[in-house]
Amino acid sequence: MNKKKIRRYLQELRYIVPTLYFNFHYLPFRQAVRLPVVLYKPHLLACKGKIRLEPEDGRIRHGMIRLGFLNSSIYPNHGITWENKGGTVIFRGKCLIGNDSYLSIGKKTTIDIHMDFKTTAGLKIISYIGMKFGKHTRFGWGCTVMDTNFHPLFDMVTKEFKPADGPIEIGDYNWFSTGCKVMHSVTTPERCIFGMGTVVTRGCVKKSYCVMGESPVRILSENVMLDFEHDTLNYDRKSTD
């Protein structure tokens, strides 16, 4: 067994008690005994609602969902904060959410996370209406996804309140770079890339095989995609020069 695996198991053992509680609290016994959800430095503010495991390959494996582990050293090693007030979270495969991340889940919402969902650190998900994330979704550092802004504005002309919430549906293979904000009522097609700091709203440009960014959002580059087998530069690799 290599050092990386040993370190991983030691981290898991450190928080085995809350991991055991979380799995057996939320999952049927036959699933829970496999410990498919592994927590690191968890802050469990509310554990109501439901979790459903519906992996697309039909296999439930130990550690298929890893929440709070250190993925980026530039963010605090604060683990994961979980606040479920009664909603449902569906995991359909491997899911990795890094350190200093927060999930706030309302009473009636459903968050549907498809296979191979990955974030680095500092992700904030606030869902009170509903969210769906397609296959192979990626979030960079410090992103926020919220399906409500909590504060409706009153239109003095129409005498009605403007929409302040709405479901979010993210297409397959979407990549949100550092500091992106995804607001309520957004739907994206597959293979979208959003540049650093982009605020993604329902009215902004969203087009497949493009990089979008700036304010207002515009297409910065076309005919591009993220190659998931070569999506990260390795600066730790020894030079062959």
Q: What is the rounded distance in angstroms from the CA atom of residue 142 to the CA atom of residue 198? A: 12
pTM (two decimals): 0.92
What pLDDT is attached to residue 237? 63
DSSP 8-70: HHHHHHHTHHHHHHHHHHHS-HHHHTT--EEESSEEEEEE-SEEEE--TTS---TTSEEEEE-
Q: What is the rounded distance in angstroms from the CA atom of residue 101 to the CA atom of residue 140? A: 12
What pLDDT is attached to residue 212? 96
Long-range contacts made by residues 3-10, C-beta under 8 angstroms, separation at least 24? Answer: none
Select from 1.10.3110, 2.160.10, 1.20.120, 2.40.300 the CATH code of 3-151+165-222: 2.160.10
What pLDDT is attached to residue 67? 97
All structural domains of the chain with their residue ranges: 3-151+165-222
Strand partners, 139: 119, 176
From first to last of its 241 residues, the chain has per-residue pLDDT tens of: 677 777 777 788 889 999 999 999 999 999 999 999 999 999 999 999 999 999 999 999 999 999 999 999 999 999 999 999 999 999 999 999 999 999 999 999 999 999 999 999 999 999 999 999 999 999 999 999 999 999 999 999 999 999 899 999 999 999 999 999 999 999 999 999 999 999 999 999 999 999 999 989 999 999 998 887 777 777 776 554 4
What pLDDT is attached to residue 12? 80
